[in-house]
Structure 1
Amino acid sequence: MQIRFLQPAQYELDEAIAYYNAQAPNLGQGFLVEVLASLNRVCQYPDAWHPVSDKTRRCQLRRFPYGVIYTKIDDVILVIAIGHLHRKPEYWQTLQARFNK
């Protein structure tokens, strides 16, 4: 299964890594490892995670207050957002609306 990121999701990932690196050495790397582990779980079991709409799901990270918001289109996992679940937890819904048609 392929993984693709919407541009805003890639930006969010980069911003979160930079933020955590500024907090402590290698914490950003730890965040990235956690995101990659979550994406691996999503690829293995794409329908197992919490549905947030008919076609969109959220896989919550274990160590950080973030979730991978994604949709599955054929054999592609499209990451819509790497969302902080406490700050504007549903801001990404405008992005996901285009996939619920």
Structure 2
Amino acid sequence: MKKVVFLRYAKHELDDATHFYDMEFIGLGHSFKEEVKKAISRIAEYPEAWPVVRGDIRKYLIHKFPYNLLYSIEKEHIVVVAVAHQHRKPDYWIDRT
């Protein structure tokens, strides 16, 4: 099982989405973060299970929320490039790769 790390931008996106959901309904941000943690565990255990969307970037659809985790598999670890909303600017993260 490989370690999963977030790019600084992806970490900010995670924090922003968590905060947004908490503003919508108390506890919803926590639920979002729990779904992301489950996603990270699955990705760490089966990194090649999800489809490649561009170059070496893969996409995991987060359950119950309209977000994707976009990640690449590196030699030593897995890098989360973006925590991307599914309905906003679809390719904004490309320059991060």
TM over 0.5: yes
Counterpart residue number, 1:40? 41
Q: CA RMSD in A?
A: 0.8
Give the superposition deviation at 1:83.
0.4
Give the number of aligned pairs: 96
Give the superposition deviation at 1:54.
2.9
Counterpart residue number, 1:64? 65
The superposition leaves residues 28-82 of structure 1 with CA deviations (integer Å, 9 ceiling, x where unpaired) of 0000000011111111110110211231101000100000000010130101000
Q: Which amino acid aligns with 1:87?
A: R
CA distance in 2, matches of 1:36, 1:54: 25
Q: TM-score, normalised by structure 1?
A: 0.91
Question: Where do 5+ consecutive residues of structure 1 fail to align?
Answer: 97-101
Counterpart residue number, 2:86? 85
Q: TM-score, normalised by structure 2?
A: 0.95
CA distance in 2, matches of 1:75, 1:38: 19
Q: Which amino acid aligns with 1:91?
A: Y
CA distance in 1, matches of 2:11, 2:53: 20
Counterpart residue number, 2:29? 28
Q: Share of identical aligned residues, percent?
A: 35
